[in-house]
Structure 1
């Protein structure tokens, strides 16, 4: 625990706070409702805070577990990697996560701005930003998905995004599946802005050049 706090302080705080807040709101329905993203209110200049708070809560245990496992696999390694590349690495990680969370909801706010009954929640937009940022640096890292399925990170990323696209079209829940795609895009953009050379690095991983 001490090593995590020293080496990956931002990821540790996000990880712990998201789990605690999500579990607490499972039984606190009033706070759960207040924290959910509400595009209709945001379009009217109200409840802007839900752009952040919606990423601190999850629909159920399965939703929380899936997101936190993905964050654990990629968030902690990414912060450690960024910290090794720059003295601003911890700050860069925080920027990618927070902006990934907020910007991934922009499309949903625009799409649902006239729908007063639409609400959504979850940290998936920020998780996708972290996931695809990491894949740019180490696309061939082998993962033990669900602890027993060996899989390169880039394949996991494709499958994860594929699931998000499917869920966006077919799911009937309050999870903001549309945010996954935008989170991935902004995660890639922000990483390239911080480290322009990562594009060439990514290509070299597959070409060996």
Structure 2
């Protein structure tokens, strides 16, 4: 499978920054998403944290997903719109994280997961019938994955018993979905049922947030 220079560049830059962060705590802390620092005005962390990862497994999982879906999405939307989806999804994921955890002192997060979810969900909306592999092994229709993963993310935020940035995942997915629907409005008509089903966990998330149950 060929890989485009754009996807390769994103992977390479993310790998270099991750390597530096894993070997230099001061660098890691300076650029990670730290809720207190962001609240104090260091807004650049909303972007820079997307190039850091907590360990190499975290990095590999994200970059493998980008490898499998990045070029597919780019072939359908073009280079410029692909870059837009990637970085807007990253930023929206972290903005939603900020909104939900702004009063949780000491909250920190890193990772390209918001951007990756944007790419993945935009790809799913283009082709809901393609098969995905959970852990790259277990086959599942992408439309089913899209719904179940959003539900799992809401559950994960509700339980708060792991170190996964579920809010960034949901924010990135929402951004990717909205951008691809803006690009191809015909997809709204073609995938109306799927969009409606995906709205259920998203609406549930915001109801739980408003009630203070997250």
State TM-score, norm by structure 1. 0.81
Which ranges of structure 2 fall in alignment gaps of 5 or more residues? 195-214
Asked if structure 2 preserves the Cα contact closer than 8 Å seen for 1:138 and 1:202, the reply is: no
Report whether the alignment pairs 1:150 with 2:139.
yes
Q: Of 29, 33, 41, which residue of structure 2 is paired with 1:37? A: 33
Report whether the alignment pairs 1:15 with 2:5.
no
Q: Of 129, 134, 137, which residue of structure 2 is paired with 1:140? A: 129
Report whether the alignment pairs 1:55 with 2:50.
yes
Which ranges of structure 1 fall in alignment gaps of 5 or more residues? 83-88
Provide the residue aligned with 1:93 in structure 2.
82
Q: Secondary structure at the match of 1:104?
A: helix
**1:7-30 per-position Cα deviation (integer Å, ceiling 9, x unaligned):** x33222112221232233212211
Q: Of 91, 100, 103, which residue of structure 2 is paired with 1:111? A: 100
Q: Secondary structure at the match of 2:132?
A: strand
Provide the residue aligned with 2:111 in structure 1.
122
Alignment CA distance shift 1:62-1:161 (3 Å) = farther
Alignment CA distance shift 1:66-1:159 (3 Å) = farther
The CA RMSD measured in Å over matched residues stands at 2.4
Aligned positions, number: 193
4+ residue segments displaced more than 6 Å? none
Alignment CA distance shift 1:15-1:157 (3 Å) = farther
